[in-house]
Amino acid sequence: MFGGNNRRKAAATIVEAVQPLIRSVAMFRDLPKGFWDDPYVLGYLNGCGSMFAKLCTGGKINGMDLGLALTDAMNTLSGGQGAAISSRTLALHKANDPDMKLGLNNAVKCVSYSHGLSEFPDDPDIAAAKRIGASMGDALRDPSDPTPERTQTSGALSVLLFQQVVRKRLSEG
């Protein structure tokens, strides 16, 4: 029973955390063709999902429960394609697909940085995101945010490593 509670909590957290990413790619139109099949996208979404599932359960979810939580979340996010997405993700993982690994690693970097789990002091993506975040100016800062630089950098990192990559990979033209 305890595993089931963690699974439900994790799936709900994954949906809440990943849905804005998916919406950011759609931006007033449908998702790009091939979105739910793209190795980078699947790696990134599963990397984010796994990180958020572990964060919300204090690291108490893994194995089968984590896989089922990811499937449940992807089913909700994709409008019922969770089983197919999980099958495709597993096949890509078994094939050691480099695009999927890159997506997964970039997601782990984004979530780890945004939650203060790691600083990545010499990482070029973090450095670029810091420059972009700093260029946003004070107008976009929330005065109640105790870590405005991290928040701005995290947002810029998400744009660099998800939105821009996905738009480039799946552009129709």
User: What pLDDT shows up at residue 143?
Assistant: 62
User: What pLDDT shows up at residue 64?
Assistant: 94
Global confidence as pTM? 0.88
Q: Encoding tokens for residue 40? A: 């980078």
Its sign, for the CA torsion 147, 145, 116, 121, is negative
User: What pLDDT shows up at residue 3?
Assistant: 56
Q: What is the CA radius of gyration of the chain?
A: 16
User: What pLDDT shows up at residue 88?
Assistant: 98
Query: Torsion angle, CA of 12/169/90/71, rounded to 10 degrees?
Result: 20
| 32 and 16 Cβ atoms separated by less than 8 Å | no
Per-residue pLDDT of the chain (173 residues; tens, 9 = 90+): 345 788 899 999 999 999 988 988 876 578 899 999 999 999 999 999 999 999 999 999 989 999 999 999 999 999 999 999 999 999 999 999 999 999 999 999 999 999 999 989 999 999 999 988 888 755 445 566 666 788 888 889 999 999 999 989 998 65
User: What pLDDT shows up at residue 24?
Assistant: 85
Nearest 5°: CA angle at 151, between 89 and 165?
A: 35
What is the crossing angle of helices 148-158 and 124-135, to 10°?
Answer: 110
Neighbours of 137 (CB within 10 A): 9
| Complete DSSP assignment for 46-88 | HHHHHHHHHHHTTT---HHHHHHHHHHHHHHHHTS-HHHHHHH
User: What pLDDT shows up at residue 172?
Assistant: 60
User: What pLDDT shows up at residue 11?
Assistant: 94
